[in-house]
Amino acid sequence: MKALIGYFLHSYSVSQRYFGPVAGIIIAVLILYSYKPNPVMNSYSATAVFLFVACAWLGLSFLNHEHAVQKQVAIVQLRSARRYSIGGILTLVLLTLLLDLFIVIYPVVTGSFNEPAGLGRILLAFTGHALLGVLGIAISLYLQSSWVSRTSYAAGLMLITIILSVSAGKVAELVPGPIVPVLLPPVYPVMDAMMNADALPLSSLLGAYAHVLVYIILLTGFYIYRSGRMDYNKTI
């Protein structure tokens, strides 16, 4: 698996498709913290949403960076489409964690907060960023070119999903019942929990994080199962 992740990192870096999403999130963080001081958890909540959007974009560019023939050759060499898919997901998780580390540590190192962040809040922020970043990756799995052939459709669906996910609190007021909490990616609950982390009990925070984790497991689990049954010859 290490060799496969190394292959993905090399081929993705050569393609240079990482530049847009990585540059976008770095610029957004630098702009946010160019004004000092900032409240700790409110700022972390905002950057977690930035990372969710950036990782959805990063995932889509990563999953589409290979030529279809190159992708099929890699699957034949591995003798498993599911192993190929798992390697791709792990590579994206690794990239997400690197961005997460930068986003969480940067304001601490540069003294951008109005008070000491504290180890507990840093750990909450790191976990929250990681969950929303991987959630963005999980959504992008279903919008890559082998699932949605038209790039314009994939971009439009991703944009709609991001908007609805971030504004789920307002959407829930218009559509009461369990539909919104169950179907929409749970970005808003984590964003709200991080903003109110100092006042909420730990169980509420962990509940919001667990909600995202379950959502990620369901999305990636079905994707890995389905990818093993797809005919990749049709994508050539």
Q: What is the DSSP string of 115-132?
A: S---HHHHHHHHHHHHHH
Rounded to an integer, what distance in angstroms lies between the CA atom of residue 199 and that of residue 41?
A: 11
Q: Does residue 176 have a cis bond before it (omega within 30 degrees)?
A: no
Q: What is the pLDDT of residue 147?
A: 85
Residue 38, strand partner residues? 113
Q: What is the pLDDT of residues 49-101, one digit of tens each?
A: 999 999 999 999 998 888 888 888 888 888 888 899 999 999 999 999 999 99
Q: What is the mean pLDDT of residues 204-209?
A: 89
What the block records as the tokens of 6 is 């190394």
What the block records as the tokens of 197 is 């982390």
What confidence tier does 108 reach under pLDDT thresholds 50, 70, 90? very high
Q: What is the pLDDT of residues 2-58, one digit of tens each?
A: 888 998 998 888 888 889 999 999 999 999 998 888 899 999 999 999 999 999 999
What the block records as the tokens of 78 is 């591995």
Q: Does residue 37 have a cis bond before it (omega within 30 degrees)?
A: yes
Q: What is the pLDDT of residues 151-180, one digit of tens each?
A: 888 889 999 999 988 888 777 777 777 777
Q: Residues of the chain with pLDDT > 90: what percent?
A: 44
CB distance 179 to 98 below 8 Å: no
Q: First and final CA of the chain: distance in angstroms?
A: 25
Q: Is the pLDDT of residue 232 over 80?
A: no
Query: Using CA of residue 49, residue 166, residue 204, residue 136, what is the dihedral sign?
Result: negative
Domain residue limits, the chain: 1-228
Per-residue DSSP letters for 31-88?
HHTTSS-B-HHHHHHHHHHHHHHHHHHHHHHHHTSS-HHHHHHHHHHHT-HHHHHHHH
Rounded to an integer, what distance in angstroms lies between the CA atom of residue 119 and that of residue 6?
A: 32
